[in-house]
């Protein structure tokens, strides 16, 4: 099984987690929404798979490039 890491595109905070661990996601599905400079930026699944790990919680600060979730194909 291959794993895919979802990373934050911007520095900001986790505004809302949309998908729960164990959820099957398709490529392009929203995992969570980040807030940066009053803008909402979705973190999307690049490939389809099952969400096996969330590395952050709502309200947590994240930096650009930080791994925020892991999917397993």
- Confidence (pLDDT) at 1: 78
- Confidence (pLDDT) at 38: 94
Note the CATH architecture for domain 3-72.
Beta Barrel (2.40)
- Confidence (pLDDT) at 18: 98
Reported in sequence order, the residue ranges of 1-73 that DSSP labels E, i.e. its strands, are 3-7, 12-17, 24-25, 30-36, 39-44, 49-54, 61-62, 67-72
- Does the predicted TM-score (pTM) go above 0.75? yes
- Confidence (pLDDT) at 53: 98
- Per-residue pLDDT of the chain in tens (73 residues, 90 and over written 9): 799 999 999 999 999 999 999 999 999 999 999 999 999 999 999 999 999 999 999 999 999 999 999 999 9
Q: List the chain domain ranges.
A: 3-72
Q: Please, what sign has the CA dihedral across residues 40, 53, 71, 9?
A: positive
């Amino acid at each position: 099984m291959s794993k895919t890491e979802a990373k934050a595109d911007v520095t900001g905070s986790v505004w809302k987690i949309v998908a729960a661990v164990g959820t099957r996601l398709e490529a392009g599905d929203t995992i969570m929404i980040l807030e940066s400079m009053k803008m909402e930026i979705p973190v999307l699944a690049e490939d389809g798979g099952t969400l096996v790990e969330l590395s952050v919680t709502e309200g947590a600060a994240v930096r650009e490039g930080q791994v925020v979730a892991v999917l397993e194909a």
